[in-house]
Chains A and B, each alone.
Chain A
């Protein structure tokens, strides 16, 4: 089965350090989402891309977060500088959206980030 690959699976870092999370979407998928999941807030949409172009990143703290798709096989989410409140599980999801839309996405296993 095709899968969305996220790395690293776990990351522990000190406050103030830069963190980069990577996502390899399923080949042929043109839409990529980044979500953050915590017990308190659930799944929050951070940003998403269509054909590598950002469509909406209003859910992302702009001063410290950035999301990019340098090519069709890689999406990155960067936090600089990281803060303890960024501790969460970060998920990437991909799917194909065509003229008739796309209804359902495949998620990766997530990156569990702990900022101490």
Chain B
């Protein structure tokens, strides 16, 4: 059974601080996706990483895929209140018809 773990589960920081969220698994994934979800809405795709060691940047967000394609991290620089939300990582498995499973999420609160 494929499982994804995320840490920390909850994070409350002051505006302007930096933070890193981690996503780990014992399974290898063909891609790793990051989503952000706000209350009352569905998750929204932020980025997909495909190649081991890949780094992608989206404004103040930096995403990295582990060399072995089992883990990923999301780093936010100078967090803003608009970054508040639930951050979800999702792994796509090529060996299971592109099945996509989600981690439990990291709930981020950025205090002004």
Using a CB–CB cutoff of 8 Å, the interface residues on chain A facing chain B are: 4, 31, 33, 35, 42-43, 45, 48, 50, 55-56, 91, 93, 97, 101-110
Contacts and interface: CB of A to CB of B under 8 A. Distances in A.
Contacts, number: 59
B30, B99, B103: which has the most chain A beta carbons within 10 Å? B99
Interface of B: 30-31, 33, 35, 40-45, 48, 50, 88, 92, 94, 96-105
B30 A101 contact: yes
A50 to B, nearest CB: 7
B42 A108 contact: yes
Nearest to B46: A104
Contact of A104 (B30, B33, B41, B103): B33
A107 B42 contact: yes
